[in-house]
Amino acid sequence: MKIFPAIDIKDKKCVRLLKGNFDNKKIYEISPLEQAKKYKDFGFNYLHIVDLDGALTGETVNLDIIEEIVKKLNIKIEVGGGIRSSRKLQKYIDIGADKVIIGSAAVKDQNFLREACNKFNNQIALGLDAKNGLIAISGWKEDTKLSAIDFLRDVNSFELSRLIYTDINRDGTKTSPNLDETIKIAGISRAPVIVSGGVSSIKDIENIKNVKNKNIEGVIVGKAIYDGDIDLKELSGFLDA
């Protein structure tokens, strides 16, 4: 199982949001690079990074910080946050990102997602963020009436390298992931699926690892690490050999 410790960047700092609410954020003293190094030191070779400033502005605001993490630590990152053009995709590819996550832009323009998958082979991940089964976009500030499952069926033939399914109601809450819904998504998706939102304890990691659906590739862990609910050494024991 792949484990993706999370780093959300806002104003050059590590932060965690509650249910995607920018007005309800917790700021951590450690810098994004220091946090990434901490993960690397414990044997984690994958990171999930979100440029929250980018999600709000549509610009690659923290590109320099993300590039420094990739170059100094030689670590595989999936990165997202306001990526709405091929030019911005190229910027992340050029600094060595393993996967680039397209979310809102994919929902607004399926052709953009298709073309990105064709141009950047095996490097495009779809960020599917849902609240009560319905997709939310634009930094989760805009709700839609579009079912996550229906949208996935529309784009399932695209050559996605990964699908990250986030239950917004669980994100940052440490109330355990919505595994039932994620398993449904994984049962439909042609791309491997990452569990996201709500991880609270090592028990949650055990539950995900024990899921029978082999299309679940891994899990993103964020706030539970920062708040000390999950010990990195213990978590590293679940890494793929």
pLDDT tens sequence across 61-109: 999 999 999 999 999 999 999 899 999 999 999 999 999 999 999 999 9
Count other C-beta atoms under 10 Å from residue 27's C-beta: 10
Gap between the Cα atoms of 128 and 184, Å rounded: 13
129 labelled catalytic: yes
Q: What's the chain's average pLDDT?
A: 93
Query: Percent of the chain, pLDDT > 90?
Result: 81
Whole-structure pTM value: 0.94
Instruction: Determine the pLDDT at residue 241.
Output: 46
Burial class (CB in 10 A: 0-12, 13-18, 19+), 214: exposed
Catalytic site residue from 8, 98, 167, 204: 8
C-alpha to C-alpha distances, 129 to 3, 152, 154, 226, nearest whole angstrom: 19, 11, 16, 22
Alpha helices in 77-197 (DSSP H): 86-94, 104-108, 110-119, 148-155, 179-188
Listed in sequence order, the residues at least 6 apart from 237 whose beta carbon sits closer than 8 Å to its beta carbon are none
Gap between the Cα atoms of 194 and 187, Å rounded: 13
Pairing mode of beta strands 46-51, 76-80:
parallel
pLDDT tens sequence across 172-185: 888 999 999 999 99
Catalytic site residue from 129, 167, 171, 204: 129
Confidence band of 110 (pLDDT split at 50, 70, 90): very high
**Tokens linked to 14:** 């590590």
Q: Dmax of the chain from CA atoms?
A: 43
Gap between the Cα atoms of 118 and 153, Å rounded: 18
Is the pLDDT confidence value at 228 over 90?
yes
- Domains of the chain listed by start with CATH number: 2-236 (3.20.20.70)
Instruction: Determine the pLDDT at residue 173.
Output: 82
